[in-house]
Amino acid sequence: MSTTSPNPAPAESIPKPPMDPELPAPLSMGDVMRIPMLRRLWYAQVVSVFGDFLALFAVISILTFKLHATAQQVTGVQIAYMLPIAVLGILAGVFVDRWPLKPTMISSDSIRAALCLLLLAAHQVWHYYAILAAISVVSSFFTPAQGVAIRSAVPLHGLRSANALMQQVMFGMRIIGPAIAAFMVAYLGEKSCYVLDSVSFVGSACLIASVALVRTAPKPAAPGAENISAIGKIWLDMKQGISFIVHHAALLFVILAMAAGMFVLGCFGPLIAIYVRDSLHASTKMFGIVSPMIGLGMLLGINGLNTFGKKLSNTLLVYSGLCGIATGLVVLTLLTHVWSTLVGNFIIGIAVAAIIVPAQTLFQQATPPELMGRVGSTFMSIVFAAQIAGLVLSGVLTQYMGVRRVFALCALMLVVLMAVGKLWMEPKKATA
């Protein structure tokens, strides 16, 4: 399909989002769920995310207990899934902006359903890596397309609640998914998780097929663009999306804030078990109690955000989220008690929720419809790259600094980012 796009060279030619300073009162989650298109997209999200958690837990279970994989190999499962999205994200958005929306999403779900069934025949570590990486390649097209679909289904003043609903699914499954997956693996076998994951993608595709998705048509090519090669057109489209982000200070700030939060979570995930063992001198049972507190904080933070933060700006919420994560890390650094660990993790969970939803909302509100795919996929690519960096660097830094000093370093990084955002990335008020 055509990837023709206008030349974006000067920053002044980048499309500006429509200014609408007097939006109606924000819609609640209940109001947003009454929109038929969004409701079906939400059902599709519930079905597919549930299947994903089951399959991923089953893969980790197989690698750990049957193939006796090392800690690095188990961490490699997460990297194998995130790396293609981080690498291909920017390129995928170019095609998402040009391809028909509904066929793109349905095809992505259908291909992923078939790839999940390949897990039934996997017997070696590299088999799982290859299959999960292939699923991730397809996901790199589906995720920005889903963002475009949500933007087309919900009015601007309902985007925060819509994003909160979508993230609520992720955080909820993070809490209940492992328990359900453990039960299925124990009594039905890991292959039942793979089959159910495949079925979940089919169910998601059917729900999306029942939705009438409408999107803004891409702008016609600029004069002379037909003389540019196909690779040149793709490069121009990528450049236009990146240029829009770079020249939009508020959007650039929330993307960097989101990346910083995901970097901290990437470091935090592998290290919290070490922290419980070395700093708390506690057992695996305590790790099982401490670890879900982040997910619980995220879930409660999402709901509290829509109840108490309706009148707060997206930028202010992002600052609050960065400050909250830094506070939670300081608590973990200075205090080494079970109660302080529970409190620190819970604060971090709430703070992460205060970044994710406003960041996605600002991106959807500020980005012109014809750039949604490119900007969204670039956003996604940066976030996944930051999380991978956290996973990779956490072990290296801990060897030289120790867990608590790594937490302190992450807190310092967040404070610096807040200062940079305040000094150079505050959205400027338009002058007459």
Sorting pLDDT into bands at 50, 70 and 90, what band is 6?
Answer: very low
Query: Superfamily assignment of 234-426 in CATH?
Result: MFS general substrate transporter like domains (1.20.1250.20)
| Separation of CA 234 from chain center | 24
Per-residue pLDDT averaged across 221-230, rounded? 55
Task: Tell me the angle at which helices 314-334 and 403-424 cross, rounded to the nearest 10 degrees.
Answer: 160
Q: What is the pLDDT of residue 21?
A: 47
Per-residue pLDDT averaged across 28-32, rounded? 81
Q: Report the percentage of the chain scoring pLDDT > 90.
A: 11
Higher pLDDT, 196 or 364: 196
Sorting pLDDT into bands at 50, 70 and 90, what band is 373?
Answer: confident
Q: What is the pLDDT of residue 206?
A: 92
Measure the CA–CA gap between 124 and 231, rounded to whole angstroms.
37
Q: What is the pLDDT of residue 49?
A: 83
Residue found under tokens 């929720």: 353
Sorting pLDDT into bands at 50, 70 and 90, what band is 130?
Answer: very high
Cα 384–Cα 428–Cα 301 angle in degrees, nearest 5: 45
What's the pLDDT tens digit per position in 244-281?
A: 877 787 788 888 888 888 888 777 766 777 788 788 88
Measure the CA–CA gap between 46 and 391, rounded to whole angstroms.
26
> Tell me, what amino acid is at 348?
I
Contact between 184 and 62 (Cβ < 8 Å)? no
pTM: 0.73
Q: CATH 1.20.1250.20 residue ranges in the chain?
A: 25-214, 234-426
Q: What is the pLDDT of residue 343?
A: 92
Sorting pLDDT into bands at 50, 70 and 90, what band is 331?
Answer: very high
Mean pLDDT of the chain: 79
CATH class of 25-214: mainly alpha
